[in-house]
Each structure stands twice: as structure tokens, then as C-alpha cells.
Chain A
Amino acid sequence: DVKVTQSSRYLVKRTGEKVFLECVQDMDHENMFWYRQDPGLGLRLIYFSYDVKMKEKGDIPEGYSVSREKKERFSLILESASTNQTSMYLCASSLYNQPQHFGDGTRLSIL
């Protein structure tokens, strides 16, 4: 069974901090995704990666960056956290054109 593991379920940080969210998948998937989920807005794509060191912006990349140095790991970085980045963050991975497998999510609060 595919396992997508996010490093934290809950995280509390302060404004201005640099925040790292980590995601690891164990199925050799090429594609990895970072989403945020907010009430009434659904899932919105922040960044995705289709190979090691390859990344593309999603719909809401402002204030975020990503890193994919190894195939199994995709990191989301909040360069300088702000309160409007308080959200649920979900990581997913997939093979090309196959269903995405999601992690359990990280509920991030920025104070």
C-alpha cells in the first residue's frame, strides 16, 4: 500500500518564522504535490514536482517555495510565515495520470 507521510499533524509557529513541512512517499512516484485546504475554498495547489529537482508553480505559490532533492521527499517552505498561511496543508503523490495518494495533512497555525 502506498504511504505518504507528512512530518507533523499539528504545528504552531510565529509570524516571520521560516517553516518547513516535509512529505515522504514510499512508492517511487514521479509526481508530488502540495495543497492547502481552507473552508469554502477546497483544495488549492501550491506547487508540484514531476521529477527530482523539477518544480512548477500551482495556483497559489506566493509566499511558498519547495525543494525536491530526492525522489521520495518533497518539502514545502514558508519563507516568512504570516497569519494568512494558517491552514491545513496536504501532500500527495502519484504516478503519471494515476490517482493521487494523500498524506494525513498538517494543520498549521501561525500566531
Chain B
Amino acid sequence: KNEVEQSPQNLTAQEGEFITINCSYSVGISALHWLQQHPGGGIVSLFMLSSGKKKHGRLIATINIQEKHSSLHITASHPRDSAVYICAARRNYGGATNKLIFGTGTLLAVQP
């Protein structure tokens, strides 16, 4: 079993729909990251959170530390939101760096 699990693996939505992508993890973490990868490869960091909720534009990320669960929400979805969304956990090792454990990603297609 992967230490970071995402669901669903694939998601198709109609423009304007509210979208939720889920991430569960089984290890102790110091932070949870949400990343976006568009076709062609480039990965962009959307959020880093360790508690509560963060919002940026139409994107909202939440985390429940006790339940070891995070969600990424997209309100009023648009075709330009089509991408792979990746959840990554920064494990609680200590040490000199911030190694991440990645989920396998959710492929989102928003149709006009």
C-alpha cells in the first residue's frame, strides 16, 4: 500500500462544476503539498499546508491532521484547470532537507 493515496485517479467534469480531489496518507507528516502538472511536464506548487485551510483564487486546500486526509477543491471549474493534480507529503524525519512522498496523481479533464 502506498504511503500517499489519491482518489479518484481520473476525473471528468463539465465546465462550472465543483471538483474535489482527495488525498490520504499513512505516515506522520510535517506538511502536505498540492502540485499541478500540465501536459508537457512542468510541475507547479499550488499549496503547502500543515493545518486548516488555504485558498488561492478558485482553489481551496484543506487538511485534517487527525484523520490524515487532505482535499483539493476547485470551484467553478474551467477547461484550463485540466491537468494532473499531485498530492505530496513531507515526512516528519527532521534532518536537513524536505523529501516528499508523492501520490500517483489525479488526471482531471474539464470539458466545455
Residues of A within 8 A of B (CB): 9, 30-31, 33, 40-45, 48, 50-51, 56, 58, 88, 90, 92, 94, 96-105, 107
Known: A99-B33, A99-B45. A43 touches B99 (CB 8 A): no
Q: Which of B88, B97, B102 has the largest number of chain A CB atoms within 10 A?
A: B97
Known: A41-B104, A42-B105, A43-B102. A100 touches B45 (CB 8 A): yes
Residues of B within 8 A of A (CB): 30-31, 33, 40-45, 48, 86, 88, 90, 96-100, 102-105
Q: Are B98 and A107 in contact (CB under 8 A)?
A: no
Given contacts A42-B104, A96-B98, 10 further A-B contacts (CB under 8 A): A33-B99, A42-B105, A90-B41, A94-B98, A97-B30, A100-B45, A101-B45, A104-B40, A105-B41, A105-B42
Q: Are B96 and A102 in contact (CB under 8 A)?
A: no
Instruction: Please name 29 pairs of A and B residues whose Cβ atoms are closer than 8 Å in the assembled complex, sorted by A.
Output: A30-B96, A30-B97, A33-B99, A41-B104, A42-B86, A42-B105, A43-B100, A43-B102, A44-B102, A45-B99, A48-B99, A50-B96, A50-B97, A56-B97, A58-B99, A92-B43, A97-B31, A97-B90, A97-B98, A98-B98, A99-B33, A99-B45, A100-B98, A102-B42, A102-B43, A103-B42, A104-B40, A104-B41, A104-B42
Q: Could you tell me the distance in whole angstroms from the C-beta of B108 to the nearest C-beta in chain A? A: 16
Known: A42-B102, A105-B42. A96 touches B86 (CB 8 A): no
Q: Are A100 and B41 in contact (CB under 8 A)?
A: no
Compute how far the CA of A99 lies from the CA of B54 in the bound complex, rounded to whole angstroms.
Answer: 15
Compute how far the CA of A43 lies from the CA of B92 in the bound complex, rounded to whole angstroms.
Answer: 19
